[in-house]
Amino acid sequence: MQIGMSAWIVQDGNYPDFTVGQRTRFALEFYAESIRSSPAAIRSFAGVQPARYNASGIITYATEEAWVVDFGILAFSESKPPSIATVGASVSGEFSIGIDPFFYFERLCKIPGFPELRYDWRVDSILLETTPWLSTRDATGRKVLCRDDSRTSYREVDKTDAWHDDDGNGNYVLNCTRIETPR
Q: How does pLDDT run across 57-86, given as a tens digit for each residue?
A: 999 999 999 999 999 999 999 999 999 999
Distance (Å, whole) CA 24 – CA 109:
18
For the chain, how many structural domains are there in total? Answer: 1
Q: Which residues constitute the domain of residue 7?
A: 2-180
Residue 46 bridge partners (DSSP): 54
Q: How does pLDDT run across 119-145, given as a tens digit for each residue?
A: 999 999 999 999 999 999 999 999 998
Predicted pLDDT at 27:
94
State which H helix or E strand residue 37 sits in. Answer: strand 28-37
Q: What is the pTM of this model?
A: 0.89
CA distances from residue 84 to 16, 28, 37, 64, 71 in whole angstroms, order as listed: 37, 21, 6, 13, 16
